[in-house]
Amino acid sequence: EDKVVQSPLSLVVHEGDTVTLNCSYEVTNFRSLLWYKQEKKAPTFLFMLTSSGIEKKSGRLSSILDKKELFSILNITATQTGDSAVYLCAVEATGNQFYFGTGTSLTVIP
Amino acid sequence: EPEVTQTPSHQVTQMGQEVILRCVPISNHLYFYWYRQILGQKVEFLVSFYNNEISEKSEIFDDQFSVERPDGSNFTLKIRSTKLEDSAMYFCASMRDRSSGANVLTFGAGSRLTVL
């Protein structure tokens, strides 16, 4: 059965800390891996990764994919309270389906 | 910026009643999805829709569920006879196409369904 596992399930840090969120997957016919941020309602898109070893960056957030070891990490540096959210990892497989992990709940304390 | 619009934002219904959740995907998108998220649990795939037909569905999407794209813009999810365990946030998502760079799901704000 295809699956996506995220760790840790939750994390509490202080402003300014750096965090690393993990996503491992076992999905047949992998096409891409996506990271989303879910604050109150709809997940909003952060990154899409298709190739191993190429870092995607957006401000303080960055992400990289390892297709050999079947995982991705999402890094957030100099965290702010506005980074508090659930971060979702989703893997797209051929056959038109996306598989989501349970998410990592990040709380940033002032 | 184009967005996926869902209505209603919240619906409360009695067990056994029919519910229709509506979605207007982004206009140039070709692939449409319904997901649900039970409170505190992960986002679960229900069904995908392409070229006016279901392309994939999960085990959750049983005979009580159906989807339609009646008029080329709306994309609806119908639950025929709701059960308590159908209480969840239902997300509609759309995707432009499956080419590299365009295969990003854009989600609507969700419709919260509460079944009493």
DSSP for residue A101? -
Q: Which residues of B touch A97 (CB under 8 A)?
A: 45, 48, 56
Q: A residues 39-58 near B, CB within 8 Å?
A: 41-45, 48, 50
Q: Could you report how far apart the first and last alpha carbons of chain B are, in Å?
A: 36
Q: How many CB pairs under 8 A join A and B?
A: 55
Q: Which residues of B touch A36 (CB under 8 A)?
A: 107
Does residue B8 have a cis peptide bond before it, meaning omega lies within 30 degrees of 0? yes
State whether A99 and B41 contact (CB < 8 Å).
no
Q: Which residues of A touch B54 (CB under 8 A)?
A: none
Enumerate the β-bridge partners of residue A10.
Answer: A105
Phi-psi region of A31 (alpha: psi -120 to 50; beta: other; left: phi over 0): alpha
A18 and A75 Cβ atoms separated by less than 8 Å: yes
Q: Which residues of A touch B89 (CB under 8 A)?
A: 41
The per-residue pLDDT for A2 is 67
| CA B3 vs CA A35, A91, A110, B106, B108: distances in Å | 18, 22, 32, 7, 7
The per-residue pLDDT for B97 is 82
CA–CA dist A45, A52 (Å, integer): 19
Strands (E), chain A: 3-7, 10-14, 19-26, 30-38, 44-49, 56-58, 61-66, 71-76, 85-93, 97-100, 104-109
Q: Which residues of B touch A45 (CB under 8 A)?
A: 104-106
The ranges of chain B with pLDDT < 50 are none
State whether A48 and B101 contact (CB < 8 Å).
yes
A52 and A66 Cβ atoms separated by less than 8 Å: yes
State whether B42 and A48 contact (CB < 8 Å).
no
B interface test, pick of A35, A96, A104 with most B CB neighbours within 10 Å = A96
- Chain A CA closest to residue B44: A100
Over residues B12-25, the pLDDT tens digits come to: 999 999 999 999 99
Q: Which residues of A touch B110 (CB under 8 A)?
A: 41-42
The per-residue pLDDT for B100 is 67
A88 to chain B, any CB pair closer than 8 A? The answer is yes
Residue from B14, B20, B37 nearest B93 by CA? B37
Task: Count Cα atoms within 13 angstroms, Cβ side, for A4.
Answer: 27
Q: Tell me the pLDDT of chain A (110 aa) as tens digits.
A: 668 999 999 999 999 999 999 999 998 888 899 999 998 778 899 999 998 988 999 999 999 999 999 999 999 999 999 999 999 999 988 766 788 998 999 999 99
State whether A45 and B108 contact (CB < 8 Å).
no
